[in-house]
A = this chain, B = another copy of it.
Amino acid sequence: MTMALIRKLENYVLLTDIEKHSLLEAETTVRTIDPRLDIACEHDEIDGAILLLEGFACRYRLLPDGRRQILSYMLPGDMCDPRIFLLDHRDHSIASLSRVRIAVWPRKAVLGLTSIYPRITRAFWWCALADEGIIREWLVSLGQRTALERLSHLICELYYRLKAIDLVYADGFDFAVTQAELGDTLGLSAVHVNRTLQDMRRKRLVRMAGRRLTVLNLDALATIAMFKPDYLHLNAKERRQTTLAERREQAAGTA
């Protein structure tokens, strides 16, 4: 277990040293996986939570005739299935987009930690909530935004999410996603993604070199996409002063 997750959780809930220590010590199996491979498949039994340590991954669903919809991107520190104790089988697949390192966290260990530390549980719920926000925003994109707007919105989102985990350097970040995958993400054909991307380069919104994407004009991008970063809950830390009674109530409320 690395710092990536702790950092993410602390974005939502302040953890004590003991809690952090327990997370660091959690027994996990770390694996490295090549790009474009399934990490877990639909209908598989869920035997542990998957934590992404390095690289990009995505969740997706396949239609019987082969059409694919990518449901979300997982970035370092992201975890899937924090609600591991509810579902037995997954309803979507998970695949690597780049070479990734993942930690598999056995069901028992997750249950153990969450049963001892309510604040950790609470942070997990926050993660789930943030994921939901992202999916809702994607729904708005697919339903209402044009190709240019969708791409701009996605790039803004990734920019903010990557920035929050210090993976943006000089306004650029590694972006190993193919145009076909972008198509499956945005509900567009690969060809049209290509043309839209060219348009964005012509407009000096982004630059692409190799697997590196540089944001040249974040403001313009955000304006085009009607992007508001709130939904990412990147700075949601529960900072407000609470009385002990309130804190007790909250702890109980999550129980």
Contacts of A231 in B (CB 8 A): 91
CB pair B133–A132 under 8 Å, yes or no, is: no
Q: In the complex, A230 Cα to B91 Cα: how many Å?
A: 9
Q: Give the size of the chain A interface in residues (CB under 8 angstroms).
A: 48
- Which residue on chain B has the smallest CB distance to residue A122? B86
Is there contact, CB below 8 Å, between B67 and A115? no
- The count of identical subunits is 2
A67 touches B114 (CB 8 A): no
A85: shortest Cβ distance to chain B, in Å? 5
Mask for A129-153, Cβ within 8 A of B = 1, else 0?
A: 1001101101110111100000000
Does A210 touch B at the CB level, under 8 Å?
A: no
Inter-subunit contact B139/A135 (CB<8 Å): yes
A255 touches B255 (CB 8 A): yes
- Are the C-beta atoms of B85 and A254 separated by less than 8 Å? yes
Is the pair A63, B115 in contact by a Cβ cutoff of 8 Å? no
Neighbour of A61 across the interface among B63, B136, B252, CB < 8 A: B136
Using a CB–CB distance below 8 Å, which chain A residues touch chain B? 61, 63-65, 67-69, 71, 83, 85-87, 91-92, 111, 114-115, 118, 121-122, 125-126, 128-129, 132-133, 135-136, 138-140, 142-145, 184-187, 226, 230-231, 249-250, 252-255
27 intermolecular pairs with C-beta atoms under 8 Å apart: A61-B140, A63-B140, A63-B144, A64-B226, A67-B144, A71-B140, A83-B125, A85-B250, A91-B133, A91-B230, A91-B231, A92-B136, A111-B249, A111-B250, A111-B253, A114-B253, A115-B252, A115-B253, A128-B128, A135-B135, A135-B136, A135-B139, A142-B187, A143-B184, A143-B186, A143-B187, A255-B255
